[in-house]
Amino acid sequence: MLHLTKNKGDIAAAKAVADLTVKGYLVFTSVVCEHLPFDLIAYKNSNCYRIQAKYAGDNRVIKRSIWVDKNGTHQKKYQADDFDFYAIYLPDIDKVVYPSIKFCGCYITTKIPNSATPFYWWEDFTDFTEDATKRTYKEFGVDLTTRKVNTEARINTRKVPRLSKEELEKLVWEKPTSQIAKDFGLSDKAIEKWCKAYGIEKPPRGYWVKLKTST
């Protein structure tokens, strides 16, 4: 009989491998040593990411490793340099999200809460994510008085899917960040976060002014 925890961990790893493969990553599993602090390595565009796969039935980003052997149950808290990103499988929506290890211990919401408390939304973590801003019910058109959701407002406030690294890298050298943000109906800060997440080098300060005066 398979141990329940290990079985769920295997499901999470399998879901992550499938999802990352579809997104164009080469995925390596830690078959050489089961005691590494990460389960997978994802490689794409000369970048490697160490990944810890987790099954999150309660939507919590688990902050410790738990295992069982002949001596009983053991726990070890994750350290900042153990891995780069989680691959969190959310069974209620059958999706995998990728918060960085900095989100250790937080909750990632999959259903709009009837509460004024800010929350992390799952759609903000569909790619490897270093930074994310907590959302509020107002962004989703929720009326806390009636507990109903304004569907039109929900559609209008839904985030624009993140561009690929290649698409964004091409754009930042074709036009200013402010113009890119305007084109996609986003803020300058959102584009900045995309560039930071991908490690994209942007034109230096004053680049567009010099380009304009030289033409």
The structural domains of the chain, ordered by start, are 4-136 (3.40.1350), 165-214 (no CATH)
At residue 30 the predicted structure's pLDDT band, cuts being 50, 70 and 90, is low
Per residue in 62-107, pLDDT (tens digit) is 877 765 666 767 677 888 888 999 999 999 999 999 999 999 889 9
Bridge partner list, 135: 119
Contact status, residue 40 vs residue 32, Cβ threshold 8 Å: no
Over the range 102-122, which residues count as b (16 or more CB within 10 Å of their CB) and which as e?
ebbebebbbebeeeeeebbbb
Going by C-alpha positions, the residue among 61, 188, 55, 194 that lies closest to residue 124 is: 194
Whether the Cβ atoms of residue 83 and residue 101 lie closer than 8 Å to each other: yes
Residue 141: what are its φ and ψ, rounded to 5°? Answer: 70, 25
Does pTM surpass 0.85? no
Length of the chain: 215
Question: pLDDT per residue over 118-130, tens digit each?
Answer: 999 998 999 999 8
121-174 pLDDT, tens digit per residue, is 998 999 999 888 888 877 776 655 555 555 444 444 445 667 788 888 899 999
